[in-house]
Structure 1
């Protein structure tokens, strides 16, 4: 894999090979992504939806903490307000469902599911700041083509991690059985699988793109706001009931989202005002040092 770097001297662009430590970092991120997905899938089968959603909603909090320590993310009152509101909004949706332990499940299984979902949230929350840290530590200038290379390596190793687990657990044998039992038919089942894979890649590409253009915290915020949006889309397309909890959650999410961008707008406006003031300061030139 190669990355073309720009050259301001109008010379022929130099092809730069991806540095080994960058490749290694991408493999680590990919392995962590695969592990996080595995833990999430295992825990989801052991926990009720309400409990798993509530724990998963803490991903944004982990993202904020890791962003603070790993990439020295600067927080303002607006960004903190945004994080808190989005976590509360997700928590309101999670508490809407029943929180009882599934029938026939032992306390040990339930506890393992709870632990794995917590670890999954921590891992998923760390991946975005780790990606931003990789960008900051790269020796070469970060371009979007280089980001695509990093994402390709990370997704490759995340896929390998998942494939190994599926082979060991003989999960490929279950695909044909699930396709036969799918309510919309086998063809629709495979179409859904392929479409889900493509959409997931677009999703991850957008997430790393936001990190490249802004920060890992903003990427985490945009991911978190998807939960209440998904609930609203379910009301529109699947005719689900729009309970009061969904309305409150959506309102809090939008409030948090606007709060973040309002804070960024004020910060940018302040920086622009400072820059203009500095450029407009009168420049005094004096040849006599005594004057």
Structure 2
């Protein structure tokens, strides 16, 4: 399990559950809010793909706040506690994941610029199939009938969502641009489907106590290198020179332009921390399933705020996603009860018997 750094005992289990709930909330906010605000940027006059991709990870400095709080708490327990607990192998692995994330962000932002939210959100759902595949290969993920059922339902739900999406094509986007954006969205889904299990593999292989503080440090390094990757692209594309002009021409005004960019950065940091935190408390498959389940929330919000069409396909996708969600967690609850019963039976057998 990826959560080996959590303190043992009832207190540790309670803390793990609290962390799981908190990270699920962060993942919900990031999964729904990030794509919506990015789409607002493109709808209201923004068109810089490298800037958008950079913005996905550029909010990493905000992680200094929880990291500082964590360090202060650790210093109270041990005066010899180091500011950075991450060792070099983990740092290098996090940097590699960051570069992959930067590449994935660019591909995703390119698709976001040419697709409606309803379609581009496929990247946050169709990656589940690839996450399940790579989780099986990289971390030997065990599947139950319920988890397999959930994966199938969520993938089918994503496939249904893709039907007739060309009718939702944004104004000014040609058929060729739409097809390229859709194909790149699939590529980005494959890449992120690899990243989640790869992070779990790193957690399992790290040769130091795995704590939530270490998870936050890993995300900080990952986001830093992802941002550096995209900054190089921005420099090559002259994005920094264009930003002031783009801000002046933004439909909602120059101040709101920068507020939108800041909001995008913060929401995506919530997404990454939530995704990696769920891996820490559970597994990469759980993280992938939660990302896919939150897709309907994005769908509904896109219909409300951007007046996108809510076709029958989206309703079917919503029902399948909720069905998959219930199936997965029902299976997890049954598995937890079975393991608890097995543990109790083992303890009873080990008790000394007196005649």
Same fold at TM > 0.5: yes
- Which residues of 2 match residues 107-146 of structure 1 at below 5 A? 113=181, 116-146=184-214
Gaps of 5+ in 1: 287-291
Alignment correspondent of 1:72: 140
Aligned counterpart in structure 2 of residue 209 of structure 1, from 272, 277, 283: 277
Aligned counterpart in structure 2 of residue 220 of structure 1, from 288, 300, 315: 288
Q: Does 1:159 align with 2:227?
A: yes
* CA displacement, residues 68-95 of structure 1 (integer Å, 9 cap, x when unaligned): 1111111111111111111222222222
Once residues 277 and 89 of structure 1 are traced to their aligned partners in structure 2, the CA distance between those partners, rounded to angstroms, is: 40
* CA displacement, residues 193-239 of structure 1 (integer Å, 9 cap, x when unaligned): 10111111111111111011001111111111222111122344556
More helix by share: 2
TM-score (structure 1 length as normaliser)? 0.84
Q: Which moved more, 1:273-282 or 1:251-260?
A: 273-282
Whether the 8 Å contact between 1:63 and 1:129 is mirrored in structure 2 is yes
Once residues 326 and 212 of structure 2 are traced to their aligned partners in structure 1, the CA distance between those partners, rounded to angstroms, is: 27
* CA displacement, residues 164-219 of structure 1 (integer Å, 9 cap, x when unaligned): 00110112233233322322111111111101111111111111110110011111
Question: CA 1:180–1:145 in 2, change beyond 3 Å: closer, same or farther?
Answer: same
RMSD (Å) for aligned C-alpha atoms: 3.2
* CA displacement, residues 5-64 of structure 1 (integer Å, 9 cap, x when unaligned): x99xx8765547421111100000000000111122334556787775557643111111
Larger radius of gyration: 1
Question: CA 1:265–1:100 in 2, change beyond 3 Å: closer, same or farther?
Answer: closer
TM-score (structure 2 length as normaliser)? 0.70
Question: CA 1:132–1:49 in 2, change beyond 3 Å: closer, same or farther?
Answer: same
Question: CA 1:57–1:263 in 2, change beyond 3 Å: closer, same or farther?
Answer: same
Alignment correspondent of 1:234: 302
Once residues 79 and 260 of structure 2 are traced to their aligned partners in structure 1, the CA distance between those partners, rounded to angstroms, is: 45
Whether the 8 Å contact between 1:179 and 1:190 is mirrored in structure 2 is yes
Aligned counterpart in structure 1 of residue 126 of structure 2, from 41, 58, 75: 58
Once residues 94 and 163 of structure 1 are traced to their aligned partners in structure 2, the CA distance between those partners, rounded to angstroms, is: 32
- Which residues of 2 match residues 17-56 of structure 1 at below 5 A? 17-45=85-113
SS at match of 1:98: helix
Q: How many residues align?
A: 281
Alignment correspondent of 2:256: 188
Alignment correspondent of 2:156: 88
Alignment correspondent of 1:257: 325
Alignment correspondent of 1:289: none
Whether the 8 Å contact between 2:154 and 2:324 is mirrored in structure 1 is yes
